[in-house]
Amino acid sequence: MLSRFKLKKHGTNVKTELMAGFTTFLTMMYIVPVNGFILADAGLPMGAVVTATALITILATLFSGLWGNTPIAMSVGMGLNAYFAYGLVLGMKIPWQTALGIVFISGIIFAILSFTKFRVWIMTSIPMDLRRAISAGIGAFIAFIGFKEMHMIVANKATFVTLGHFSDPHVMLGAFGLLMTLVLYAYKIRGSFILAVAVTSIVGWIFVPDLKIPTEFLSMPASIAPIAMQLDIGSALTLSLLPVIITFLITDMFDTLGTLTAVGARADLFQDGTSEDKALEKTLEADAIATVGGSLLGVSTTTSFIESASGVEAGGRTGLTAVFTAMFFVLTLFMLPIFKAIPEPAILPVLVAVGVLMFTELGRMNFKEMDTATAAGAFLAILVMPLTFSITNGLAAAFVTYTVIKLAKGEFRDLNLGVLSIAAISLLVFIVHG
């Protein structure tokens, strides 16, 4: 069994892979309670979501390790889960069953593309700086959601939004949690997110009167029956939802390839011209299949996690790291009482912190040589997503603006079929809203 991982070839051993798997588990364990809270806001039962999130993390990460033999862990993606809950279900009033159908369809398309060269073509068609701006825009979007849900930003008739009431102990707890999260991450402490959640929860239980300390800590997993196989594919197959499906598809592709590029650079994986390119293909395939499986279990888009880099830094080099990570996630199936007792002001700062990390993609953009079309598209992607509470709107504004400016300047060489196709689909967003 161990021979399939080729440990000696990759200069590692079982003990190193075990510690790397545990490190990855600590750094991304936060996704189980965080996803539970986010999708619960969309009307899904939190207990069922927690169990489904743990299950898809276990299955997807295990499959990734065995199929691709890479140390890449997978779970429900941050950003698209927030868009699923707050953008589609709460914002556009789409039933969560239909939203799951959208995730399923985008996953099926991604799976098909993962077995072809089209995924490479579509990725190379889109300017790198636009891709980075889209990532930063999603970061701004989910950070805004975090601030809003913590009531650190509230509605105002005159200015639309304004600063919240920091005299409220819940708001103060959220601010404390956010600072704690960022400080621990700045010190590169393993499991900084989940540690910050734990510390903030304890502070809340002690000092905020209406927050109760949990009386039980472990239980049998909640049933996923209320959400499993409840997706409505038929309702998702409408022209008005096509832009949303494309948004989920493109964002998942960006997220996955960006993560694999970053982690691969640290682990010397996915290098052009080597046998490791096969590992990239298999990891993409695993990611796409996991999204399809996740929608059947009742959760939003599953993707490769950048937190896998922590396991790589700990020495993980093969799929055995992912296998061990999956095994550790079995523990989260039995931790529902603890997750339910976590105060929202302790869990929501993670949204803002993840948003900050995604926003750092701006630092990799080439501002000095950026043309007007790219600059305008990037700016609108970053601004429109949080302002309209929609990743779809941000993508559409970016691609339509980029394409129109390039056409107006006669720079047709920069407009390939990929960009034109996305721009045409983006126009549907504004036509439908109109």
381 and 398 in contact (C-beta within 8 Å)?
A: yes
Secondary structure E strands in 93-231: 153-156, 160-163
pLDDT of residue 142: 92
pLDDT of residue 351: 93
Q: Report the alpha-carbon distance of residue 418 to residue 249 in Å, rounded.
A: 14
- Please give the structure tokens belonging to residue 367: 């501002």
395 and 426 in contact (C-beta within 8 Å)?
A: yes
Query: Please, is 247 exposed, middle or buried when counting C-beta atoms within 10 Å of its C-beta (0-12, 13-18, 19+)?
Result: buried
Enumerate residues 6+ apart whose C-beta is below 8 A from 405: 372, 373, 376, 377
Token pair 């601030």 is found at: 147
Whole-structure pTM value: 0.88
Rounded mean pLDDT for each run of 10 residues along the chain, 434 residues in total: 83 93 94 96 97 98 93 93 95 96 94 76 75 90 95 95 95 97 92 94 95 90 97 94 90 79 67 56 89 97 90 90 97 95 94 92 87 94 92 91 95 86 82 64
349 and 177 in contact (C-beta within 8 Å)?
A: yes
Three-state DSSP class for 211?
A: coil
